[in-house]
Amino acid sequence: QVQVVESGGGLVQAGGSLRLSCAASARTFSNYAMGWFRQAPGREREFVAAISASGASTYYAHSVKGRFTISRDSAKNTLALQLNSLKPEDTAVYYCAADWNLSQSRVVLRASDYDYWGQGTQVTVSS
């Protein structure tokens, strides 16, 4: 069983920045592809960004590309999401997810492929 715990959410003005962190309890964190998803009120959970187990491959949703950056530190078992140039439409609960993966280079884009999820952290962007 892997536990993932998000932190770093908060209230920020439009144009501001936040850094989300995700701590994972996996003993072999470097074997897990990781991802960030978000869910706004009344909307379905949507993909935000993903990173491969090795960290060499990343993928972003079109709506956040160029503004958000996903990264991982396998020595510390942590995942991060840097959110820049935030917009009110970025307001959502952000979730960290982990998928045990034999491929070091594969990014995982579908929520249904992830095995473990955190409880989420709220990001609110005011206009």
pLDDT digits (tens, 9 = 90+) for 44-77: 999 999 999 999 999 999 999 999 999 999 899 9
Q: What is the rounded average pLDDT of the residues 103-120? A: 95
pLDDT of residue 27: 82
Judged on CB neighbours under 10 Å (0-12, 13-18, 19+), 18 is buried
In the chain the first and final C-alpha atoms are separated, in Å, by: 40
Q: What is the rounded average pLDDT of the residues 113-117? A: 95
Beta strands in the chain (DSSP E): 4-7, 10-13, 18-24, 32-39, 46-51, 58-60, 68-73, 78-83, 92-100, 116-117, 121-126
Q: Are strands 10-13 and 121-126 parallel, antiparallel or unpaired?
A: parallel
Average pLDDT along the chain: 95
Task: Tokens for 27, please give them.
Answer: 């003993």
What pLDDT, in 10s, does the model give residues 75-90? 999 999 999 999 999 9
Residue 115 has pLDDT above 90, yes or no: yes
